[in-house]
Amino acid sequence: MANAAHDLAAASGGVALGDYQLYPEHPLPGLSVGNNVAYRATSRERPELAFFALVCDPAAQPRIDVMPAIRKSAGTALLTPLEWQVVDWPPSARRSVAIVFDRPEDGRFVASLGETVAPLGDEAIIRDYLMPIVSALRALNVAGIVHGAVNPTNLLFREAPRRGVVLGECVSTALAARQPGVFLPIEAALAAPAARGRGQLTDDVFALGATAAFLMLGGNPAAGIPEDDLLRTRIDIGSYGAIIGDRRIPVGIVELLRGLLADDPKLRWSLSEVDEWLISRRFVLRQGIPMRRATRPFEFDGRPYVVPRALSHAFARNSDAAVEAVRSRDFEIWAHRALSDETSIALVKAAQNESAGGGPPNQRDAALVARMCIALDWHAPVRYRTLAAAIDGFGGALASAFLAQAPIQTIAEAIAQRLPQFWLGARSPPPSEHITLLKLFERLRVLLDDGRLGCGIERVLYELNPTLHCLSPLIEKDHVFALAGFLPAIEKHAASRLDGDLFDRHSAAFVAARFKTAASGWVEGLASGDPAERLVSILRVLARLQAHGGPPAVPNLVKWAARQAAPLVDTYHHRPTRQHLTRQFEKAAQAGRLVDLMLIIDNAAEEQRDADGFAEAKRAHAAVAGELSRLAASAVRRPQQAAILAGQMAASFATLVAVAASLAFLAVLVLG
Amino acid sequence: MAKSTAKLAKARGGTGIVPKAAAVAVALAGLAALPVFLILLPGMMPAFVTLFVDRQRPRHLSYTVGVMNFAGVLPFILTLAKNGASLKAAAGVLADPLSWLVMYGAAASGWLICGATPPLARLCLELQATHKRRALEALGKAIREEWGDEVAGAQLPAKERPAAAVQAERDRRP
């Protein structure tokens, strides 16, 4: 298929994507985003304009779900996805998501955050950079979309030389997956890159502040500081202090940076406030809530902690040592007496009293530490052993682990230990979306324990990642992320696997997660020990897929199903029916309609007729056998029968002869 | 006492009124047609002997020999009756060896008929049984061809049985 696509590309001058042509032989390294490589693209309709396409790495998890809204809402200040599709990509010999954008003339502001540039004046920053960025973010804000990639490497120039700033794309990777920690609020920075969830609109405001600081200082304000050290400093003294430090900032812009880099999301400026400040330099001074501090420090790992968030971070970094600390009497006393707010005290109590979710002792200990981390810092992500995931970032973490073939045990344990539920329960009153999440995680916990095909951790993966492509080894390269593409992909491989199994744990879970209305029947059917029931349930779901937007004919799949159904045909006793069914299978395979095959196999009336006929035939055969037995047994009595018959024959014959002779003599006597 | 003796005699199948009447009737008929009776009694002697020695029931042999014997005697009785049924004519018949040959020969042919029919009867019965067996076997074969050997309750080898049936059998095992 890849070769065919390559030939097609070679013949037509590129890979077709809607109205666009992509050129695999013309990569554009300057516009690439991580492993998502940029290539030159052209438009058939607008050949005078330049475009480029990002061909996403299979592990990139592009934000397919938000692309339509971004295309609809974004203005000229944002690099907007114009067209996207899964295409056959010859260089990687697989299918990949390709996204077409307008091609900026003058590339990126900086290629990497390690670069330094001449510091810009505050007016230039405001007019040339902040205004277009805020304009782009405002458009996204209206649509409720978080950009998640606002940083100097993602600022591009529409025109040369370095004029017309546009904010770069935010759709080719998972949200904030490539965003450096310094451009993220503390809560988001604490989560693993792939596990930052859907983010908050205020995250972009923070990133705007960090970007402004970069522009002002002419380089990364946190350059040379290890990420974890910076994070610890930000927790201890606040992000503004940690990032800006004692650097000189123009007086007129200090308020802006303080407002943008505020750690408390409630104190952080909103986009409209930023907008107003950019226009009028007026701002609303808000009274901040002081950082939560204990009345006395708690000693852990040789260091005193006064800030609960810092202690929470320290516990999360050293989970093994934290077990002993959180179980100690000292910690209990400290938590009850030194923590100044009632919420924290109540959460610490709840964390201690929460019933263990089962599992071995080390899991329960790790879960206790994780709950205590949440109790001390309920804004931070869930941190359990090596996992650090936002509440809506579990899907990203799991997908990332699956795609990198990394261990998934920690994530499964965190769900099994009900840590997300504890995190969600830490808010009072809970927001409506949290109630939805709570129900989801309760359902996932049940699914996780279910070992059937179509359930388990794979089902959790697809339930949490609605746009993740199916990772079944059979069709992974086809990059099927929606049900519509599932049947064609399976059809492609069915021909070479007529005697094999087409559905593994991934494909079964993918269908179960995406096809909600058929999920229970699908899972129960796959788990059935009855081959007929299993095949019929598979066919029922596939037939529905075919009927609802699937390809009109799937002959290979029908052949595969017919091959699987061969043993079922043998369950029929009536030989002519078997031959008839085999002929019907062949006809259905030619037509390629799964529903035809399903109706042939799932024919209870025919089965009943066969069973009735067989019972009747058994009776008839038994009667024949009995008759033959009686016949064999009668051979013993045959001499007696023969004697009787012989006597009868002799008597009859003698009577005939005697009568004939007498009549003949009488006639002679009378006539003579 | 006399009554009880009569009852006992009746119970023993002893001399009842009917046999006695018959014997008297035969004796009267014999006296009335003495020439015919003179031919009939010795002529039917083979039949009487056969009746005496035949132990089979029903008495096909007696019947066959009797019928043939009578067919051999009848022409002489009819000839005698036609010629006036005189004792002289009866004596002529009895004096003629050909008459004896015909009467006893007819009785002998009855014996021959009885001797010849058993193999014929056995052959008929064998043919009938063979035909019936073949028809039944053909029917059984047709049923098996249409419904498989399972219809006869035969257990197919595992590899020839449907996988579902093999699995079901495994499931049934304790």
DSSP A157-185: EEETTTEEEEE----SSSTTTT--GGGS-
Mean pLDDT of A40-48: 93
Q: Please say whether the dihedral angle defined by the alpha carbons of residues B76, B77, B81 and B84, taken in this order, is positive or negative.
A: positive
pLDDT at A252 over 60: yes
Mean pLDDT of A129-138: 94
Which chain B residue's Cα is nearest to A610? Answer: B147
**Interface residue B144 vs chain A (CB under 8 A):** yes
Mean pLDDT of A351-358: 75
pLDDT, greater one: B2 or A548:
A548
pLDDT for A67-97, tens place per residue?
Answer: 999 999 867 899 999 999 999 999 999 999 9
B-chain residues within 8 Å CB-CB of A568? 162, 164
Mean of per-residue pLDDT scores for chain A:
90
Mean pLDDT of A38-47: 94
pLDDT at B10 over 60: no
Residue A10: what pLDDT? 46
Give the one of A638, A646, A662 whose C-beta lies nearest to B117's C-beta. Answer: A646
pLDDT at A260 over 60: yes
Going by pLDDT thresholds of 50, 70 and 90, the confidence category of residue A340 is: confident
CB burial of residue A211 (10 Å; 0-12, 13-18, 19+):
buried
pLDDT at B17 over 90: no
Q: What's the ipTM?
A: 0.78
Left if phi > 0, otherwise alpha if psi is -120 to 50, otherwise beta: which for A389? beta
pLDDT, greater one: B120 or A295:
B120
Furthest-apart CA pair in chain B: how many Å?
102
Residue A599: what pLDDT? 87
The 10 Å Cβ neighbour count of residue B4 is 8
pLDDT at A468 over 90: yes
pLDDT at A4 over 50: no
Which chain A residue's Cα is nearest to B74? Answer: A662
Going by pLDDT thresholds of 50, 70 and 90, the confidence category of residue B40 is: very high
**Interface residue B70 vs chain A (CB under 8 A):** yes
Quote the CA–CA distance of A462 and A69 in Å, as a whole number. Answer: 22
A-chain residues within 8 Å CB-CB of B65? 654
How many helices (H) does chain B have, and how many strands (E)? 8, 0
Residue A1: what pLDDT? 41
Question: CA Rg, chain B, in Å?
Answer: 33
pLDDT at B161 over 80: no
Task: Calculate how close chain B gets to A522, using CA atoms only, in Å.
Answer: 20
Give the one of B71, B122, B162 whose C-beta lies nearest to A661's C-beta. Answer: B71
Mean pLDDT of A121-136: 91
The 10 Å Cβ neighbour count of residue A668 is 11
Residue A496: what pLDDT? 87
Quote the CA–CA distance of A463 and A512 in Å, as a whole number. Answer: 9
Residue A5: what pLDDT? 43
**Interface residue A575 vs chain B (CB under 8 A):** yes
Q: Please say whether the dihedral angle defined by the alpha carbons of residues B161, B162, B165 and B170, taken in this order, is positive or negative.
A: positive
Going by pLDDT thresholds of 50, 70 and 90, the confidence category of residue B42 is: very high
Going by pLDDT thresholds of 50, 70 and 90, the confidence category of residue A601 is: confident
> What percent of chain A stands above pLDDT 70?
97
Residue A94: what pLDDT? 94
Residue B155: what pLDDT? 53
Quote the CA–CA distance of A481 and A559 in Å, as a whole number. Answer: 25
Highest-scoring range by mean pLDDT, A276-280, A293-297, A643-647, B8-12: A643-647
Going by pLDDT thresholds of 50, 70 and 90, the confidence category of residue A451 is: very high
Furthest-apart CA pair in chain A: how many Å?
170
The 10 Å Cβ neighbour count of residue A14 is 21
pLDDT at A466 over 90: yes
B-chain residues within 8 Å CB-CB of A642? 118, 121-122, 125
> What percent of chain B stands above pLDDT 90?
55
Mean pLDDT of A466-486: 94
**Angle, in degrees to the nearest 10, between helices A555-570 and B163-172:** 50
pLDDT at A672 over 60: yes
Residue B7: what pLDDT? 52
Mean pLDDT of A153-175: 92
Left if phi > 0, otherwise alpha if psi is -120 to 50, otherwise beta: which for A666? alpha
Of A168-177, A300-309, A354-363, least confident by mean pLDDT is: A354-363
pLDDT, greater one: A429 or B132:
B132
Residues contacting A296, CB < 8 A, separation 6+: A306, A334, A338
pLDDT for A588-597, tens place per residue?
Answer: 888 898 988 8
**Interface residue B121 vs chain A (CB under 8 A):** yes
For β-strands A387-389 and A382-384, DSSP reports them as antiparallel
Cis, peptide link before residue A429, omega less than 30° from 0: yes
Residues contacting A389, CB < 8 A, separation 6+: A191, A192, A195, A197, A381, A382, A396, A397, A411, A414
B-chain residues within 8 Å CB-CB of A661? 71
Going by pLDDT thresholds of 50, 70 and 90, the confidence category of residue A288 is: low
Residue B127 · residue A647 · CB < 8 Å: no
Going by pLDDT thresholds of 50, 70 and 90, the confidence category of residue A8 is: very low
The token duo for B97 is: 């060896």
Task: Calculate how close chain B gets to A72, using CA atoms only, in Å.
Answer: 56
Distances (CA, A) of B26 to A38, B41, B49: 139, 12, 19
Q: Please say whether the dihedral angle defined by the alpha carbons of residues A136, A140, A141 and A146, taken in this order, is positive or negative.
A: negative
The token duo for A627 is: 């008759």
Residue from A534, A570, A581, A630 to probe the interface with B (highest B Cβ count within 10 Å): A570
pLDDT at B164 over 60: no
Residue B31: what pLDDT? 78
Coil, strand or helix at A426:
coil
Left if phi > 0, otherwise alpha if psi is -120 to 50, otherwise beta: which for A245? left
Mean pLDDT of A156-168: 90
**Interface residue B56 vs chain A (CB under 8 A):** yes
